Structure 1
Amino acid sequence: MKQMLALAALAVVMASCNTNYEKTKSGLTYKIIHGKGGGSTLKAGMFAKLNIEYLLSPKDTILNSTYGKVPLFTAVDTSAKTAYSFMELLPKVRQGDSVIFSISVDSLKSKGAIPDYNEMFKRGDQIKCKMSILKTFTNENDIKADYEKEMAGEKDREVKEIKDYLSKKGIKAQETKNGAFVQIDNAGDAQKAQPGKVATIMYRGYLVDDNKRIFDTNMDSSKGHTDPLEVPVGQGQVIPGWEEALPLFGKGGKGKIFVPAMLAYGPQGSQGAIPPYANLIFDIEIRDVKDAPKQAAPTGQPGGMNNLTPEQIQQLQQQMQQQRGQQQDPRQQQAPR
């Protein structure tokens, strides 16, 4: 009897919840849980800091989540191009609110957000989403300052994770200026891979938390390429963690580089091969170090995390495309660039 009563109570709760769901003009099903933040609802031209998570049912596979990581920062856009995405919900909420919403994979296909059904996105599947509005801004400078603070905090967390890993493994490594760690097995000769030099490198890359899965290497043919990688040091053509570590090695040098995600591929990861926020390890061998050919001075680190603006954070459709992990040439997809 008690079990029957409990089931009946659950049915009433579920029915009550379902009646509170609404639909946007584009057909997005949602429910707002109002918080205590107060203030007015978001409007075009304002900015929002939020956490968001996407779970693909029926197995509730996490497609993407900012919870426990760097929140999403975005400008509020009320134009038609935001239809059937979380952006369509922003004008309905205020600071402190949370939203539960559901995205139909069939609708994504019909709207052209995904090209076709595949092994991940199947006919009839639903993407269950939750979103929490942490803070709202009216001034772009304020949101940029908050963004930079969050990024710095994330890097501090990652550096601590690597320190803990090294301590647990009993690995002695020296820390670079911004938080990469270098284990030097052989420093090589006196001519180091300083800026202005070209280093010829063999490498093997894997994840700190899964060091059995190699995501790229030229040390063997498993990833389809064995040519040495030539790196013009100091020109922003490799990840920042490499730029900081390479000057510690000369020709003949060997060792490992432990790179926090914010000095590697950050929140975006790399085309399915490297997950978002992944701390990385690289085995490296320096085959040669020579003078770089003369050329124009570098213009800076392209795509560096410190140059991102909130407006450049990916929208829902871009995130979905990324999660599909479309395959590209292995060297373009996986080399540490």
Structure 2
Amino acid sequence: MLRKSLLLWPAVVASAVGLNACNQANANFAKTKSGIEYKIFDKSGKAKDIKPETAAADYKKNVGQIIALHVEYHTAKDSVLFQSRKQQMGFPVRVPLQEVTRKGGLEEAISLLQPGDSGVFRFNADSLSLKTTGQPAPPQIKKHGNTMTLFVKVAAIQNQADAMAAQQKAMQEMQAKMQQHEAAQKPLDEKTIQEYVQKNNLPAKKTASGVYYVITQPGSGATPKQGESVSVNYRGTLLSGKEFDSSAKGNGGRPIEFPLGVGAVIPGWDEGIALLNKGSKATLIIPSALAYGQRGAGADIPADAVLRFDVELVDIKPAAAPAPGMMPGGMPQGAPQGR
């Protein structure tokens, strides 16, 4: 479950953005020469007659500034892939405005908008993915149809200094909200986990931070150290039993590998895997604050979800030197990444 920026292909499979446009998605669309279908609305929700050539000239005046947006992606069957309001706890995402060098993609769509505008954009999914990642649309997208719809609300366009100040303020407010929420959620998660453990007769132990674990098959090797690369087979479920991820399905049947203790995975994994020795199997029950918290993860992991992982520590390797130009802790697709 990867975390992507606005202008990258949304790999997370995730309330409306609050756009009047959302209820008018099937209204008559205009179309750019590059093939983007679009509908633009002003602050009052009234449709605007936008001419791409005029919009492009207006956009050039804003190049170098920062746009603050609320965004939402939908599949052809109207499944929600990503909601920035949910992922950002109500705060907008911010993206630098650059020259539009490739037509038909998200950058061109955003260039049609002004402060206060809302927009609905419809793309060919393969075309959109090729322009943003160089690859065709993922199968999990195309199974819903080969179109993608993007809903956008422009909160502001700011110079870099104002945008930085607004971002810092938003981060402080977000952090305070998260801490307040986690404090209120912690006893609820504890009660949920204790009831689950008792109901399922699990001989679980608890770490100081609140991760419950059961060693179901002891190993005979060493325990991993921070920074070492570990290989893990896993199956993740909600406490209802619904599976949301597994190495068998999401990684071609192979264990996933990641550096331990550097924040590459959710905190409950960094802590839980460190308790195991090579060859052991275990069940980890992770409270929401040490998993995906208030934001959840995509459509399969709701907000404030306690998660169960059945894991096997297959191998431990010395820490690998990062490739040139790469930050340490890069993760393969499919791993339960950190928030």
Mark the CA change 1:109 to 1:68 in structure 2 (over 3 Å): closer, same or farther: closer
User: Which deviates more, 27-36 or 109-118?
Assistant: 109-118
CA RMSD of aligned residues (A): 5.5
Residue of structure 2 aligned with 1:256, choices 279, 284, 295: 284
Q: What SS does the aligned partner of 2:86 have? A: coil
CA deviations 1:113-132 (Å, max 9, x no partner) are: 7748953334xx5x443212
Q: What SS does the aligned partner of 1:167 have? A: helix
Partner of 2:310: 283
In 1, Cα distance between the equivalents of 2:112 and 2:67?
Answer: 10
Partner of 2:334: 334
Matches within 5 A, 1:1-337: 24=32, 26=34, 27-34=36-43, 43-57=62-76, 59-70=77-88, 71-81=92-102, 83-85=104-106, 87-90=108-111, 92-94=113-115, 97-105=116-124, 108=127, 115=136, 118-122=142-146, 127-138=148-159, 139=161, 141-142=164-165, 144-145=167-168, 148-149=171-172, 152=175, 164-169=188-193, 170-171=195-196, 173-174=206-207, 176=209, 181-186=210-215, 193-195=224-226, 203-206=234-237, 208=238, 211-213=241-243, 215-217=245-247, 225=253, 233-234=260-261, 238-249=265-276, 254-258=282-286, 260=288, 280-285=307-312, 293=318, 301-302=328-329, 333-336=333-336
CA deviations 1:118-169 (Å, max 9, x no partner) are: 53334xx5x4432122344322633652564476468655786676455235
2:214 aligned partner, one-letter code: D
In 2, Cα distance between the equivalents of 1:104 and 1:300?
Answer: 33
CA deviations 1:44-87 (Å, max 9, x no partner) are: 11112211123334x42223322332143211123232544365
Mark the CA change 1:25 to 1:268 in structure 2 (over 3 Å): closer, same or farther: farther
2:101 aligned partner, one-letter code: A
Native 8 Å contact 2:69 2:93 kept in 1: yes
Query: Could you tell me how far 1:284 is from its partner in structure 2?
Result: 3.2
In 2, Cα distance between the equivalents of 1:222 and 1:115?
Answer: 18
1:145 aligned partner, one-letter code: Q
In 2, Cα distance between the equivalents of 1:234 and 1:100?
Answer: 42
In 2, Cα distance between the equivalents of 1:209 and 1:263?
Answer: 13
In 2, Cα distance between the equivalents of 1:203 and 1:25?
Answer: 47
Q: What SS does the aligned partner of 1:245 have? A: helix
Native 8 Å contact 1:137 1:143 kept in 2: no
1:32 aligned partner, one-letter code: F
In 1, Cα distance between the equivalents of 2:258 and 2:37?
Answer: 47
In 2, Cα distance between the equivalents of 1:115 and 1:132?
Answer: 27
Q: What SS does the aligned partner of 1:92 have? A: coil
In 2, Cα distance between the equivalents of 1:34 and 1:143?
Answer: 21
In 1, Cα distance between the equivalents of 2:231 and 2:269?
Answer: 13
Mark the CA change 1:167 to 1:142 in structure 2 (over 3 Å): closer, same or farther: same
Mark the CA change 1:159 to 1:34 in structure 2 (over 3 Å): closer, same or farther: same
In 2, Cα distance between the equivalents of 1:53 and 1:118?
Answer: 17
Native 8 Å contact 2:250 2:334 kept in 1: no
Query: Could you tell me how far 1:90 is from its partner in structure 2?
Result: 4.3
In 1, Cα distance between the equivalents of 2:258 and 2:130?
Answer: 42
Mark the CA change 1:106 to 1:255 in structure 2 (over 3 Å): closer, same or farther: closer
- Structure 2, unpaired ranges of 5+: 1-22, 46-57, 198-205
Higher Rg: 1
2:168 aligned partner, one-letter code: A
1:33 aligned partner, one-letter code: D
Q: What SS does the aligned partner of 2:99 have? A: coil
Mark the CA change 1:241 to 1:147 in structure 2 (over 3 Å): closer, same or farther: farther
Mark the CA change 1:73 to 1:256 in structure 2 (over 3 Å): closer, same or farther: same
In 2, Cα distance between the equivalents of 1:287 and 1:29?
Answer: 50
Query: Could you tell me how far 1:213 is from its partner in structure 2?
Result: 1.6
Native 8 Å contact 2:69 2:94 kept in 1: yes
Native 8 Å contact 2:102 2:131 kept in 1: no
Mark the CA change 1:186 to 1:105 in structure 2 (over 3 Å): closer, same or farther: closer
In 2, Cα distance between the equivalents of 1:201 and 1:110?
Answer: 30
The share of aligned pairs that are identical, in percent, is: 18
Q: What SS does the aligned partner of 2:150 have? A: strand
2:164 aligned partner, one-letter code: N
In 2, Cα distance between the equivalents of 1:297 and 1:109?
Answer: 31
